Amino acid sequence: MANFTTMTGFILMGFSDIQELQTLCGVFFLAIYLAILMSNFLIITLITLDLKFQTPMYYFLKNLSLFDVFLVSVPIPKFFVNSLTHNNSTSVLGCAFQILFMTSFSAGEIIILTAMSYDRYVAICCPLHYEVIMTSGTCLLMVVVSWAMGLLFGTVYTAGTFSMPFCGSNVIPQFFCDVPSLLKISCSETLGIIYTSLGIGMCLCMSCFISVVISYFYIFSTVLKIPTTKGQSKAFATCIPHLTVFTVFTATACFVYLKPPSNVPSISDRLFSVLYTMLPPALNPVIYSLRNNDVKCALRRLQQNLCPRGSHHLTFQSPIIYKSVF
């Protein structure tokens, strides 16, 4: 009989054992975290206030920014506090909540990205039927499904993970709790529940990936048939930001979860986890706003509203019904 001991908590590995470097890492991560919050909340504010952005594409973008804010807010504040207090311990309940929220927001984000690819497909391949297909009710349903499915997968993963007994070392070789690390310290001889959960998660990811690939196959086929270079450039301009965001998100996730397992903790594993956690939320607002003239104009109008000159004030454009970009 194995001698199981009840785990009362876990130790999260940081990036250094030197207290000064721990503090420096914590402050550095906090600065990036605040920048991510400011940029994403700016996107959310602009889309909410400016009636020009009341279209499906920006409606999905607002929810994507919300997912990014919540996703990055799960591990980074805890890591910052641990770095300043030089205490890397976390309770079992705190670890469970980290896995629940990280899994929920990650699953929800990939589903909302899939919905955005479908929106681009309808806009480019079926422009005459866009208003009929992408109604406000349809968009709301897609968003609700994204949040609900994300929460469902997070609950299943968390329940499956913490249904197992843990023994041996309580050190997690990450700066946040994740399922692969907890599997390494599990004493369970039957991992049917967690492997079933992982299988369902892989099915979800592959389904979303295949859906996006199919959408862009038809999108590129349609765009290449446009006779003018200007029309092709306009069509590609509406798709490249989303395709870039989706590629960054899936690529960083693959680096973290599909790499060969290693019994020896390495700093590269934690660096890849940082990229997966912070890179997509940091890049998304830049990718969608850097070359987007509508966002730049909305930002200038917001600045004029916050800092009026004389009697000038912000005047939003008249409401626009959901419609195609063409």
Q: Taking the model in full, what pTM does it have?
A: 0.83
Identify the architecture of domain 9-295 in CATH: Up-down Bundle (1.20)
Q: Which residues of 70-102 are buried (b: 16+ CB within 10 A; e: fewer)?
A: bbbbbbbebbbebbeeeebebebeebbbbbbbb
SS3 content of the chain, % helix, strand, coil (to 5): 70, 5, 25
Residue in 79, 116, 106 with CA at minimum distance from that of residue 212:
116
Domain boundaries, the chain: 9-295
Beta bridge partners of residue 166, listed in sequence order: 186
Structure tokens at 287: 């990718």
What's the rounded Cα separation, in Å, for the pair 4 and 185? 12
pLDDT at 40: 92
User: pLDDT averaged over consecutive 10-residue blocks of the chain (326 residues)?
Assistant: 58 75 84 92 86 86 92 89 82 88 91 93 90 92 94 86 75 79 71 69 86 92 86 82 86 72 63 81 81 72 68 44 39
What is the tens place of the pLDDT at every residue in 210-260? 999 999 999 999 988 888 888 888 888 888 888 888 888 888 887 776 665
pLDDT at 194: 65
How far is the first Cα of the chain from the last one, in angstroms, to the nearest whole number? 69
Burial of 307 (0-12, 13-18, 19+ CB in 10 A): exposed
Residue 293: count other Cβ atoms within 10 Å of its Cβ: 8
List all residues 6 or more positions away from 52 whose beta carbon is below 8 Å from its beta carbon: 294, 298, 316, 317, 320
pLDDT at 317: 46
Q: How far is CA 151 from CA 60, 107, 158, 184, 267, in A?
A: 18, 8, 10, 25, 30
**Percent with pLDDT over 70 in the chain:** 83
Phi first, then psi: what are they for 91, rounded to 5°?
-75, 165
Beta strand extents in the chain (DSSP E only) = 9-12, 89-91, 171-172
What is the tens place of the pLDDT at every residue in 59-74? 999 999 999 999 999 9
Beta strand extents in 199-291 (DSSP E only) = none
pLDDT at 2: 46
Beta 9-12 vs 89-91: how paired, if at all? antiparallel
Residue in 123, 114, 253 with CA at minimum distance from that of residue 180:
253
